[in-house]
A = this chain, B = another copy of it.
Amino acid sequence: MVEISSDVIRGYNDTMILYILSNEPSYGYNISKQIKAISEEKYSIKETTLYSAFTRMEKNGYIESFVANPDPEGNGKKRTYYQITENGKNYYKAKCDEWEVTKDVIQKFIHKVD
């Protein structure tokens, strides 16, 4: 079982979050679980990393937040939801393009052995 170190994924945490928010607005705990699920348990983002990413990305205009109840009747504890902005969508697309290039570059330095 190969562990993924965060220094590697660093630079793509934001992209992962934006990928999830591209489908629908969501909140911290749920995004964290989705990342784990989508990565097939191979990566889990740290809580502090996640929430500080929210702050940063909202400041950069990539996401917007609103506080709401989990269900329309107003039951349950309120959560902070985040949704992607137009800026965020563009940023996400740019990151995807960048990824294709980066992937190929790194690959050239990977030696396939036995």
Q: Which residues of A contact B (CB under 8 A)?
A: 2-5, 7-12, 15-16, 19, 22, 38-40, 42-43, 92-93, 96-103, 105-113
Contacts and interface: CB of A to CB of B under 8 A. Distances in A.
A8 B11 CA distance: 5
A51 to B, nearest CB: 19
A45 to B, nearest CB: 11
Contact of A110 (B9, B99, B110): B99
A96 B111 contact: yes
B8 A102 contact: yes
Contact of A109 (B38, B97, B112): B38
A62 B16 CA distance: 32
Nearest to A4: B102
